[in-house]
Amino acid sequence: MFTLITAGVQIYSDYSEDISKVDERMSVIETSYMSSLSRSLWSLDQKLLNVQMQGILNLPDIIQLRLNVYPDSEIVLGELDSNISTVSHTFPLIHNSEEIYTLGELTIVASMEGIYENLKRKVFVILTTQAFKTFFISILILWIFQYLVTRHLGRMAEYAQSLNIKHLDKPLVLDRENTKFNESDELSQVTNAINSMRLTLIDDLQKQYESENEIRKLSLALEQSPSSVLICDRSWKIEYINTKFSQLTGFELNDVISQHPRDINGDVSTQHAQLWDNIQLQVERVGVWQGEIHNTRKGGERFWEQSIITPIKDNEGRPNHYLILGEDISIRKRYEQQLLRQANYDILTGLPNRMLALDRLKLALAQARRDDHKVGLMFLDLDNFKHINDTMGHDNGDSLLIEASRRISSCLRGTSTVARLGGDEFLVILPSLDDDAAAEQVAERILQTFTPPFILTNQEVFISTSIGIAIYPTDSDTSSTLLQHADAAMYQAKDKGKSSFQRFSPEMNQDSHERLQIETRLRRALELEELELYYQPIVQASTGKIIGAEALIRWNNPTLGIISPDKFIPLAEETGLIVPIGDWVLNTACKDIKHWQQTTGMNLTIAVNVSPRQFRDGGFIETVNQVLSETQLDPQFLELEITERLILDKSIETSGIFKHLDEKGIKLSIDDFGTGYSALGYLKSYPFDTLKIDKSFVQDVIESSEDAALVTAIITMAHSLGLKVIAEGVEEAPQLGFLNQHNCDYAQGYFFSRPVPAEDFNNWLTKNIQDNA
Ligand SMILES: Nc1nc2c(ncn2[C@@H]2O[C@H](COP(=O)(O)O[C@H]3[C@@H](O)[C@H](n4cnc5c(=O)[nH]c(N)nc54)O[C@@H]3COP(=O)(O)O)[C@@H](O)[C@H]2O)c(=O)[nH]1
């Protein structure tokens, strides 16, 4: 097109040039001939006129001359062919003298044929050359375009066609060198665009893969969720249930699809409908509902479900689905009910426990206040229960408690409450009493029901109970004070000689207060360093030479003064405080005896008392090992004093502990021998080294022939079993004489020394060594 236009322009320009040549010729004729023609005409010189006109006619392209001579003659030269194109110019012929005369006019007709012929030729030549030129240039351009562009476009097209999800690994690379000139040309741009599209595609595919994985994972999680899952549409119509839901309820999707979750359990009660109205309202307003629903399985079985219901919101935050997560909590519910029962009832006896008893007491007091009645409160504690429990074992102890609770209950009216507070303590609440005497009558009846023996493993056992009574409103109008008063009265009854009841009187408060005070202060005695060890020497009976000492604890409280171990050890045992206290005693005693061994160079033994409660504590052996390793005391110089009570306590697995202690080389002695109730067979079965004759026998050994016989028998028996014998409570020389006479090995008592603080013991030790040197 461009070539055609330029060719057209060139042809037109040549044509215009040829035309202008004609015009030029005309103007040459005008300037060259017109004045001479005018003169020839003025002078009427026809010959010259003809010559001049012939001269004009001979000019190129001029084919005809028409000379109009005014007024009416005309001279025509040349032929005019009507088939050819002409152009004519007419020139006036003017004679310019003094006056101007227009003599005629000359019309010159020029043929255009030459011009047209010339034009045709030129058109042909131009078009032909242009066509060739265009053709070759086009070929060249096409080739260059093909080399530089088209083949790359083809490569791109081919790449784009082969581009699919599976073949995204190779980038598009053009078959050309990358130079700085082409690095940002269109092909590079397109290539980069395709490659970045490929990367975006890879990225998108990766994301799609990840999100598909995520969706798959989530849907698997939903499907395999241990909770039941139910999804409803925005109108609360079920759309989806997971496997757990089907397992839990027995319903398949077809059973429940499009139903409201409220309706699937078939409960048409208004209460159930109300619950679901509340659930929907709360979920829509608050965004979550949590609670327990009593549901029904397909088979009709009821179960408790813990549910969480939340909306699933769309991107605009509008709920478009609802998610119901459920968990079968029937077992937990049952367990809770059981716990509730356990929380309120004593498992062993089935009686109300302390918590429920206190509730009932408060209720009884409120009612009595309203009705202006009295309430009787009895605190019962079985006498010597601990001994039975320790000696006959816990199973027998349990049977005894069950039978005791049965006997107590049998003495009461239906409106009364008997509760077990723990251990061997019971509480009886007598509501709506008319007078104080009524409570005492009940107490009397209870005491009587304890008269017949209890049968424990075919053995008759006599057990009594001590009862403390407090009356509302006479003794107090609050439940806690009434309880304290009944407790104080019970202790008084025990002190009175057991198997009795005692009405509360204000003086009793003092005793129970004291007990409480001791307990509270004992808890802090260790950390306040109020405990101290006293040492009492143990000597060879024949020479009086020291062989060791017994560690005896003392409690020196700034407010209560020196408190005897008899008073606080039982309390420490009851409360469990004996474990940390016993650990402290063991550690201090081993440390002190190690010190005296080092200062005297003697192999002194330390005897330490161990309570059954310490044995029951799982960490006893570990504590002993740790103390020995910390104090570096050789185990053979530690003697643990164990009472018969421990041996007879079937609830403690003693033999393993004894075995371990024995293997370790630790000495074991049986303390207070003779005060126990049981057979002596155990002496053979346990690895004892020493037997300590109780001081009660030693003290009367001179006056009482029975005690003398007993002491003699014990020494003989112990020796026959390979045991050494220590006689405790030796206060007088005759007692020592008797013991020596009967070959008692060792002696301990005021005769030698009272238990004294460590410093005094150290002095005594030094003197004893000097005396026996
Ligand atoms: N579990 C622990 N029990 C301990 C510990 N320390 C002491 N106790 C026990 O407390 C009970 C009372 O002890 P205590 O008041 O120290 O009485 C001891 C001696 O003082 C006393 N004794 C010693 N010689 C005589 C004497 O000649 N006459 C006399 N009337 N009394 C004397 O005997 C008690 C020693 O008893 P025993 O242990 O049986 O050898 C007492 O049962 C201690 O066991 C402790 O750390 N842990």
DSSP 485-532: HHHHHHHHHHHHHSS-EEE--TTHHHHHHHHHHHHHHHHHHTTTT-EE
Do 408 and 501 share a domain, yes or no?
Answer: yes
Same domain (yes/no): 478, 351 = yes
- Here the ipTM equals 0.94
**Structural domain contains residue 730:** yes
Check whether residue 326 and residue 352 sit in a common domain: no
**Three state DSSP letters for 174-204:** CCCCCCCCCCCCHHHHHHHHHHHHHHHHHHH
- 128 occurs within a structural domain: no
Nearest CA to ligand 1 atom 19: 755
Is residue 162 domain-resident? Answer: no
**The whole model's pTM is what?**
0.47
Closest C-alpha among 265, 752, 305, 256 to residue 540: 752
Same structural domain, 357 and 328: no
Least confident of 432-436, 499-503, 696-700: 432-436
Is there a single domain that holds both residue 458 and residue 433? yes
Q: For the beta carbon of residue 603, count every other beta carbon within 10 angstroms.
A: 11
Q: Is the pLDDT of residue 28 over 70?
A: yes
Residue 262 DSSP symbol: G
| Average pLDDT of the segment spanning 26-51 | 85
Q: Is the CB of 531 under 6 A from ligand 1?
A: no
Domain span holding position 451:
347-506
Indicate if 317 and 434 belong to the same structural domain. no
How many beta carbons lie within 10 A of that of residue 460, not counting itself?
9
- 352 and 493 together in one domain: yes
Nearest of 102, 108, 105 to residue 29 by alpha carbon: 108
Residue that terminates a domain, selected from 442, 475, 506? 506
Residue 6 pLDDT level (bands cut at 50, 70, 90): confident
Tell me which of 574, 609, 731 to substitute to probe ligand 1's pocket, judged by most ligand atoms within 8 Å of the beta carbon: 609
* Closest C-alpha residue for ligand 1 atom 13: 565
Angular region, 350: left φ>0, alpha ψ -120 to 50, beta rest: left
Vertex 482: Cα angle to 480 and 484 (nearest 5): 70
696 in contact with ligand 1, CB cutoff 6 A: no
Residues 467 and 539 in one domain: no
Grouping H, G, I as helix, E, B as strand and the rest as coil, residue 236 is: coil
Task: Give the residue carrying structure tokens 């965004």.
Answer: 287
Residue 190 lies in a domain: no
**What is the pLDDT, as a whole number, of residue 240?**
95
Q: Which residue has the tokens 């023996």?
A: 453
With respect to residue 105, please indicate whether it lies within any of the assigned structural domains: yes
Same domain for 491 and 593: no
Residue 130 to residue 134: CA distance in whole angstroms: 6
* Least reliable range by pLDDT among 383-397, 567-581, 608-622, 675-689: 675-689
117-159: per-residue pLDDT in tens? 888 888 888 888 888 888 888 899 889 888 888 888 998 888 8
Judge whether 163 lies within some domain. Answer: no
Residue 468 lies in a domain: yes
Mean pLDDT of the chain: 89
Instruction: Decide: 583 in ligand 1 pocket, CB within 6 A.
Output: no
Atom of ligand 1 nearest to the CA of 750: 27
Asked if 483 and 578 sit in the same domain, the reply is no
Residue 386 has pLDDT above 80, yes or no: no
- Give Cβ neighbours of residue 221 (< 8 Å, ≥ 6 apart): none
Q: Is the CB of 585 under 6 A from ligand 1?
A: yes
Tell me, yes or no, whether 168 lies in a domain.
no
Q: Which of 95, 118, 141 is the last residue of a domain?
A: 118
Q: What CATH number does the domain containing 359 carry?
A: 3.30.70.270
pLDDT category at 651 given cuts 50, 70, 90 is low
Alpha carbon distance 424, 400 (integer Å): 9
Residues 538 and 489 in one domain: no
User: Checking phi first, is residue 515 left (phi over 0); if not, alpha (psi -120 to 50) or beta?
Assistant: alpha
473 Cβ closer than 6 Å to some ligand 1 atom = no
Q: What is the residue-wise DSSP string for 65-85?
A: EEEEETTTEEEEES---TTS-
CATH code of the domain in which 260 resides: 3.30.450.20
Find how far residue 86's CA is from the centre of its chain.
112
Q: Domain containing 28 — which CATH number?
A: 3.30.450
Mean pLDDT is lowest, of 140-144, 241-245, 442-446, 535-539, for 140-144
Residues 468 and 571 reside in one and the same domain: no
Check pocket membership of 553 for ligand 1, CB cut-off 6 A. Answer: yes
The answer to whether 135 touches 120, Cβ cutoff 8 Å, is no
The 3 state secondary structure assigned to 524-544 is: HHCCCCCEEEEEEEEEECCCC
Task: Using the mean position of ligand 1's atoms as its centre, give its distance from the Cα of residue 566 in Å.
Answer: 8
For the CA of 748, the nearest atom of ligand 1: 24
Pocket test for ligand 1, best of 533, 536, 552 (most atoms within 8 A of CB): 552
Give me the percent of the chain exceeding a pLDDT of 90. 47
3-class SS of residue 228: strand
Number of domains making up the chain: 4
Given 68, 98, 118, the domain boundary residue is 118
Q: Locate the ligand 1 atom nearest the alpha carbon of residue 730 and give its number.
A: 27
Ligand 1 atom 47, closest CA: 609
